[in-house]
Amino acid sequence: MASRSSAGGGATLPPPSLPIQDMDSFLHAAEGLVDNMTGPWSYIIAPREYRSELGLAWKELKPSMSEIRVQAANPTPGLFSLKSVGLLGEQLKLKLRAVSDAWHRFREKGTTKLLASLVGVMKSVLESLAKVVPYAEALKELLEFIEKLLKGEDPIAVLSDRS
The residue ranking higher by pLDDT, 161 or 93, is 93
- DSSP notation for 26-42: HHHHHHHHHHHHHTTTH
Using pLDDT thresholds of 50, 70 and 90, give the confidence band for residue 102: very high
pLDDT, one tens digit per residue, over 16-49 is 899 999 999 999 999 999 999 999 999 999 999 9
pTM score, two decimals? 0.88
Domain boundaries in the chain?
Answer: 23-160
Q: Say if CB 114 and CB 44 are below 8 A apart.
A: no
Separation between Cα atoms, residue 154 and residue 60, nearest integer Å: 23
pLDDT, one tens digit per residue, over 108-143 is 999 999 999 999 999 999 999 999 999 999 999 999
Tell me which DSSP letter residue 62 carries.
G
Using pLDDT thresholds of 50, 70 and 90, give the confidence band for residue 162: low
Helix axes 112-130, 23-38, angle to 10 degrees: 130
Which pLDDT does position 7 carry in this prediction?
43
**Mean per-residue pLDDT, 50-71:** 96
**Mean per-residue pLDDT, 78-84:** 88
